[in-house]
Structure formats: C-alpha cells, structure tokens
Amino acid sequence: MNRHFLPLLFAALLVPAGAPGQVVEEFAPPRANCCLPATAKSLADQLQDWNQLGRYYADNQRLQQLPPDAGRVVFLGDSITDGWRLAQYFPGKPYVNRGIGGQTTPQMLVRVFPDVIALKPAALLVFAGTNDIAGNTGPSTLTMIEDNLQAITELAQAHGIKVILCSVTPVSDYTTRKQTLQRPPSDILKLNAWIREYAARANAGFADYFAALVDETGMLKQGFSGDGLHPNDRGYALLVPVAEAAIAKALP
C-alpha cells in the first residue's frame, strides 16, 4: 500500500462532507443534547416506524370493528391534511383524516393498506407532493413522485375505491418564512401538470386546490396562510367547495 495513502485517508475522514472551509475564526459548534444515549434511543425508536404506521393504528382498529359508512372518504396527506379539522369543515360527513405532518409520497404509499384500504372507504382523496419537492425524506425526482402517486392510485382502484388526486397548493414568501426556496413554484407547476394529466388518464377525480389558493403572482394568497405553506382557517375554507365538488362527482 502506498505509504502516503493512510495519512490522506485519515485526513479525509476528519473533514465533514461539503465543508466550506477548514479554519474558522471562532469555535462555535452547535449545542449538543445533554443526554446523547437517550437521543440515540429516540432516533432508533423513530426509525423502527419510519412510515408512522403507528400513528393511526388504534383508530384503524376501532373503525374496522364498525360497519363501513356508505360515503366514507379517506383524506390521505401530509401536514396540510393533518391540520384540516374535517368534522368542523364537513359536519356530519363520514370523512376520515389520515394526514401526517412532514410525510412524503413514499411514506404514504406504505400506509395505503392499513390507513386506507382496510377502512373500506368509497373514495380516497390524495393530497401529496409538497414535502417530496422540499426533500423531507431525501432528494426526489419528479418521476419518483409521480410513480408513488400512480402506485397509490392503482392500489386503491384495484380495491374498488374511487380516487381523487389533488393539485399541490402554492407557497409564498409573504410571511417571515420564505417558502419558495425549499418548494420552487416551477416544480409545483410541473408536478401539478402531471397530476391533472394522469388523473384524466387513470379515470380518477381531480381537485384543483392550487387554483383555489393561488394569487395573480403565482403565490399562496396573502392572508390565507400564517407561514406561506399551511392554509389558515380562511385558506381551508377555500378548499372545502373544491373537495366537495370532487367528492360529489366521484360518488354521485
């Protein structure tokens, strides 16, 4: 072995990947957690349920013991769905919320059987993709996102469930949090174009949430979100008639 190789290898291991430089003016590392063993155990526990199948496990068991409602609709999605108080916005409707904050389409795909199919809904409303664009579970290409949405659709349809695909909502930089850096509007537009086209091709419904919330500049309407990403009460109110129309069309 070259006598210069080991010192070079050791030096390489000491340099963090992508480090901008090796010398700093002041020693200021990020604050460490006080209890590293507990932090490590917490991370290990979370990795055992990366898809968060445990989030709705108990409620799924409860619902499966009851006769399925004829008009049951499962809302599958991320934090935007998770924060949507369905009983308030759709009073009296047998709608089931299966949103989980931060999730991406590969995580939702794994949840289709326990969180959707097992509940025997008449329809499934899928609202996903913004966290894939943001890279929440690592880099994703548009094709990867599209493949997952297609798999979710086909799985549900194979079990006689009507599928409604929702366009990804716009983001904005109107608040203190600048959302367009993580979720470029151009990527949202590209994914939404595919969702609309695929929904027609797959005989699925389409709910255009983007159109309901976008302003004349392509941003999420000012005053309809507190952080430029998640709708507030005014924002959700704009989505209600869009969802209702799509569900009524899917379940005449």
CA-closest candidate to residue 70, choices 125, 124, 123: 123
Burial of 73 (0-12, 13-18, 19+ CB in 10 A): buried
What domains, with CATH codes, occur in the chain? 70-250 (3.40.50.1110)
Which residues in the chain show pLDDT less than 50?
Answer: 1-21
- For residue 156, the one-letter residue type is A
DSSP states along 108-176: HHHHHHHHTGGG--SEEEEE--HHHHHTBTB---HHHHHHHHHHHHHHHHHTT-EEEEEPPPP--SSSS
Instruction: Give tens-digit pLDDT for 11-58.
Output: 444 444 444 445 657 777 777 777 767 766 766 666 676 778 999 999
- Taking the model in full, what pTM does it have? 0.83
